Amino acid sequence: MSSFFITTPIYYVNDKPHIGTSYTTIACDILARYHKLKGEDIFFLTGTDEHGQKVEKAAINESIKTISFVDKMSQYFKDLIPFLGCEINDFIRTTEKRHITASQHLWNKIFENNQIYLSNYEGWYSVRDEAFYTESEIIKKNNNFFAPSGSPVEWVKEESYFFKLSEWQDRLIEYYENNPTAISPKSRYNEVLSFIKGGLKDLSISRTTFNWGIPVPNNAKHVMYVWIDALCNYLTAIEYPDTNSAKFKKFWPGIHIIGKDILRFHAVYWPAFLMAADLDPPKNIFAHGWWTNEGQKISKSLGNVIDPYDIINEYGLDQIRYFLFREVPFGNDGDFSKKSISQRVNADLSNNYGNLIQRIFSFVKKNCDSVISNNFTLNKEDEKILNESIICYQKYINHMDNMNIDKALKEVFQFLSEINIYVDKQEPWSLKKTDKKRMNVVLSVSAELIKRSTILLYPIIPSSCEKVFSIIKIDKTNINLNDFEKLPNQKILINDPFPIFPRIEIDD
């Protein structure tokens, strides 16, 4: 059985989860569910990043012991997962013992390979980004200094261990030139490659001016730089340092889904750390775009942070999942606006998909004693539309395999429009009076097409699809994308249909 290991970034616990972090988690859930439907063995990992100065400062601001603070904040992220409709396999916290063991082992391995040395760091550091910046990257405004991300920076001077990143420049270039699909989308691949070609400097990987972190082995004066600790989570969860464990062998290397803000850490530092520890780099890194809210950057200070609980309670879980992945090509930036959500939901979910379900199954209930005969004595029109479902399926698979979730959804919704046109043309309501046998064939084909579309939509809007499956009595545990073309050979006594996607009233 082939395996699929997918990870979200582990989120900082300095603040509560918001729509941005929820977006990445849902993206991973969609891809994990899709690969599960293909019959693959899935490992979907998320968790929280709990060390470093930023988190420590947030705890100090609340006057709580740091460990109590991170316990509380991490729980918010954990509790949110089922609310987002996500099914994970593991939730990792960087303060767990298993992770401390794994991180120290990784450090030792890189150290033994002579890739770490002790020196002094003097330069710019941004606590908000938990990142070091070179002089040339710094922007000066009114005598204050900022990183290119807009975060304030401070000058730090301390003893520090360094990773010999400069020695990995050629190896990284060679690796990416030989693996052009290792970073997606292509524009991000190009960005990383040109950054590496621009020259890599050794990286400071320990701090001494605070102690909320994992102690460096054999020198407890230092704590590890939060990013080396954080990135290691992907290994900890699959039982590193036991590289002979069944889990590690099955799942490494994995696929990391991240936002574009943390591409450099994942696509430059992480593969170099891994290679320096004699491990394979990740299979793929996908950096998605950035959401704004009604055209504005989402930030606490602007007071426009979108709470996932509020927005899902207002519009519905699958409505939001659908909107996030249909509205904007996965990889591009997107704008979150209430008007666009309403328009999307009404046009696609209510009018197209929902209406088709409602009219077919209500008709079956009213006119056929709730029985779909599953008579497939097909004419040319039926064959044509069934054939189109297979073309839609093939395009969908191609898009989902390449993580083009928006394109996959577009195909399915175009096909749903085709099904609606087929039903309008076949007029089962007229056939009721003239040719009941033919009417039953049209209803059988329509129900089968609804089933097929629903299977394709299942990874994206699972709870609504389960409602459709419950009407046509499909056991969700038996669904496999490989059986897509199989026609049912028995009658179905359906359950009563009910509206699945109510229309949203739009205020002018």
Residue 9 or residue 213: which is nearer to ligand ME8 going by CB? 9
Asked if residue 262 binds ligand ME8 (CB under 6 A), the reply is: yes
Question: Which of residues 231, 461, 481, 500 is near ligand ME8 by CB under 6 A?
Answer: 231
In angstroms, give the least distance from the CB of 100 to ligand ME8: 15
Asked if residue 85 binds ligand ME8 (CB under 6 A), the reply is: no
Residue 262 or residue 277: which is nearer to ligand ME8 going by CB? 262
Residue 297 or residue 473: which is nearer to ligand ME8 going by CB? 297
Question: Which of residues 131, 230, 311, 481 is near ligand ME8 by CB under 6 A?
Answer: 230
CB atoms within 10 A of CB 171: 15
Produce one character per residue of 10-41: b if its CB has 16 or more CB atoms within 10 Å, e if not. bbbbbebbbbbbbbbbbbbbbbbbbbbbeeee
Amino acid at 349: L
Q: For the segment 347-376, give every residue that binds ligand ME8 (CB under 6 A).
A: none
Binding part of the chain for ligand ME8, among 9-17, 236-244, 308-316, 347-355 by CB under 6 A, reads: 9-17
CB atoms within 10 A of CB 272: 26
Site residue total, ligand ME8 (CB under 6 A): 19
Amino acid at 28: C
Asked if residue 12 binds ligand ME8 (CB under 6 A), the reply is: yes
In angstroms, give the least distance from the CB of 230 to ligand ME8: 4
* Contact string 25-64 vs ligand ME8 (x = CB under 6 A): ------------------------x---------------
Asked if residue 251 binds ligand ME8 (CB under 6 A), the reply is: no
Q: Using alpha carbons only, what angle is made at residue 327 by residues 324 and 332, rounded to the nearest 5 degrees?
A: 85
Query: What is the Cα–Cα distance from 286 to 182, expressed in whole angstroms?
Result: 8
Residue 393 and residue 456 in contact, taking contact as beta carbons nearer than 8 Å: yes
In angstroms, give the least distance from the CB of 373 to ligand ME8: 48
Instruction: Give, for 47, the enclosing helix (H) or strand (E).
Output: strand 41-49
Residue 258 or residue 385: which is nearer to ligand ME8 going by CB? 258
Asked if residue 474 binds ligand ME8 (CB under 6 A), the reply is: no
Binding part of the chain for ligand ME8, among 4-12, 206-214, 317-325, 498-506 by CB under 6 A, reads: 4-12
Question: Which of residues 4, 23, 69, 133 is near ligand ME8 by CB under 6 A?
Answer: 23
Binding part of the chain for ligand ME8, among 184-192, 206-214, 256-264, 479-487 by CB under 6 A, reads: 256-264
Question: Which of residues 225, 251, 291, 393 is near ligand ME8 by CB under 6 A?
Answer: 291
Cα–Cα distances (Å) from 384 to 151, 352, 389, 421, in that order, read: 57, 20, 9, 13
Asked if residue 298 binds ligand ME8 (CB under 6 A), the reply is: yes
Q: Tell me which DSSP letter residue 332 carries.
A: B
In angstroms, give the least distance from the CB of 11 to ligand ME8: 4
**Nearest in space to 4 (alpha carbons), one of 36, 27, 29, 26:** 36
Asked if residue 448 binds ligand ME8 (CB under 6 A), the reply is: no
**Nearest in space to 13 (alpha carbons), one of 64, 48, 47, 56:** 48
In angstroms, give the least distance from the CB of 165 to ligand ME8: 17
Question: Which of residues 4, 5, 6, 24 is near ligand ME8 by CB under 6 A?
Answer: 24
**Nearest in space to 132 (alpha carbons), one of 104, 109, 160:** 160
Asked if residue 327 binds ligand ME8 (CB under 6 A), the reply is: no
Question: Which of residues 175, 290, 309, 376 is near ligand ME8 by CB under 6 A?
Answer: 290
Burial of residue 358, with CB atoms counted within 10 A of its CB: 0-12 exposed, 13-18 middle, 19 or more buried: middle
Query: What is the Cα–Cα distance from 185 to 188, expressed in whole angstroms?
Result: 6
**Nearest in space to 471 (alpha carbons), one of 495, 500, 455:** 495
Binding part of the chain for ligand ME8, among 215-223, 253-261, 338-346, 370-378 by CB under 6 A, reads: 253-261
Binding part of the chain for ligand ME8, among 8-16, 107-115, 375-383, 415-423 by CB under 6 A, reads: 8-16
Question: Which of residues 9, 85, 254, 308 is near ligand ME8 by CB under 6 A?
Answer: 9
In angstroms, give the least distance from the CB of 20 to ligand ME8: 2
Question: Which of residues 123, 215, 217, 259 is near ligand ME8 by CB under 6 A?
Answer: 259
H/E/C letters for each residue in 149-172?
A: CCCECEEEEEEEEEECHHHHHHHH
Binding part of the chain for ligand ME8, among 106-114, 227-235, 310-318, 364-372 by CB under 6 A, reads: 227-235
Residues 483-487: contacts with CB within 8 Å, 24+ apart?
484/390, 484/393, 484/452, 484/455, 485/390, 487/374, 487/376, 487/448
- The residue number whose beta carbon is nearest to ligand ME8 equals 20
In angstroms, give the least distance from the CB of 101 to ligand ME8: 17
In angstroms, give the least distance from the CB of 414 to ligand ME8: 27
Residue 286 and residue 184 in contact, taking contact as beta carbons nearer than 8 Å: yes
Residue 161 and residue 118 in contact, taking contact as beta carbons nearer than 8 Å: yes
Cross-strand partners of 207: 223
Instruction: Give, for 131, the enclosing helix (H) or strand (E).
Output: strand 131-133
Per-residue DSSP letters for 426-437?
Answer: H-HHHHHHH-HH
Residue 45 or residue 457: which is nearer to ligand ME8 going by CB? 45
**Residue numbers of the site for ligand ME8 (CB under 6 A)?**
9-12, 20-21, 23-24, 49, 230-231, 233, 258-259, 261-262, 290-291, 298
